[in-house]
């Protein structure tokens, strides 16, 4: 375990000391482009700009977190309002920064190299609860994929009229993971050795989403 920790720590130092360190320096960017990305309260624009720079430095996987969507309704203890109030807080910065990021990818010809995946762990209930919020809802959710040389301009799958369950072409979380595996050139039957010394598949099920490749 210690040797593994040393290995990962070494990789982290190599990342910081290598060419990628220049990617973290946003002062190298045109100030007008930084302003175009936006400098919102949650710094999503700056983080997406950093993600683009890391991709250009050949970083294989970048995660950008933009949390705070967990609105079950008015709850002053965590500064949550109704679902409408929370969307007014979060959606404008998200909409602006993601739009600029996508435009920047295409302007630089990075749309074949970089796949943007906008994902969450579940959807939200189709009904509004008594506190003006929405509950966790694993039966249906939305995921967005942009770029990566995949076939764009599609809506894959349809929900029922109430927006509660899939009506056509249901896609599981493992189908999404299988899609990412295929995009990254990873075999779908990839295994690792668990702590008990047994080979374990990283994906127990799932197939790449039909129509994207």
* 44 or 40, greater pLDDT: 44
The pLDDT-based confidence of 19 (bands split at 50, 70, 90) is low
Q: What is the rounded average pLDDT of the residues 188-207?
A: 93
The verdict on 155 and 165 lying in the same domain is yes
Between helix 83-107 and helix 44-56 the angle, nearest 10°, is: 30
Mean pLDDT over each residue of the chain, to the nearest integer: 92
Same domain, 125 and 107: yes
Examine residue 1 and state whether it is found in any structural domain, yes or no: no
Contact in structure between 104 and 95 (CB atoms under 8 Å): no
Whole-model pTM: value is 0.87
Q: Are residues 124 and 158 in the same domain?
A: yes
More reliable by pLDDT, 100 or 67: 100
In this structure, is residue 12 part of a structural domain? no
Same domain, 153 and 101: yes
For residues 212 and 151, the answer to whether their CB atoms sit within 8 Å is yes
**Which tens digit of pLDDT belongs to each residue from 92-116?**
999 999 999 999 999 999 999 999 9
Same domain, 124 and 197: no
**pLDDT attached to residue 40:** 79
Same domain, 159 and 185: no
What's the Rg (C-alpha) of the chain?
20
pLDDT at residue 43 tops 70: yes
| d(C-alpha 37, C-alpha 8), whole Å | 32
Q: Please give the pLDDT value at position 21.
A: 76
Residue 191: the pLDDT is: 94
Are both 101 and 194 inside the same structural domain? no
Residue 116 has which token pair?
Answer: 């943007």
Structural domain that includes position 82: 17-170
Q: How many domains does the chain have?
A: 2
Residue 5 belongs to a domain: no
**Does residue 45 belong to any structural domain of this protein?**
yes
Q: Do 111 and 58 belong to one domain?
A: yes
Tell me the β-bridge partners of 115.
Answer: 147
């Amino acid at each position: 375990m210690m040797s593994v920790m040393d290995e990962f720590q070494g990789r982290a130092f190599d990342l910081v000391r290598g060419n990628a360190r220049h990617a973290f320096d946003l002062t190298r960017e045109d100030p007008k482009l930084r302003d175009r990305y936006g400098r919102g309260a949650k710094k999503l624009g700056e983080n997406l700009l950093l993600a683009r720079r890391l991709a250009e430095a050949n970083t294989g996987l970048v995660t950008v977190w933009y949390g705070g969507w967990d609105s079950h309704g008015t709850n002053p203890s965590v500064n949550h309002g109704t679902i409408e109030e929370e969307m007014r807080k979060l959606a404008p910065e998200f909409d602006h920064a993601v739009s600029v990021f996508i435009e920047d990818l295409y302007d630089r010809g990075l749309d074949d190299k970089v796949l943007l995946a906008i994902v969450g762990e579940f959807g939200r209930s189709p009904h509004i609860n008594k506190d003006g919020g929405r509950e966790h809802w694993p039966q249906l959710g939305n995921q967005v994929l942009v770029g990566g040389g995949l076939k764009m301009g599609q809506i894959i799958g349809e929900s029922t009229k109430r927006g509660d369950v899939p009506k056509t072409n249901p896609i599981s979380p493992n189908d999404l993971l299988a899609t990412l595996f295929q995009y990254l050139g990873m075999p779908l039957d990839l295994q690792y050795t668990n702590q008990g010394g047994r080979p374990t598949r990283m994906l127990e099920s799932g197939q790449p989403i039909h129509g994207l490749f």
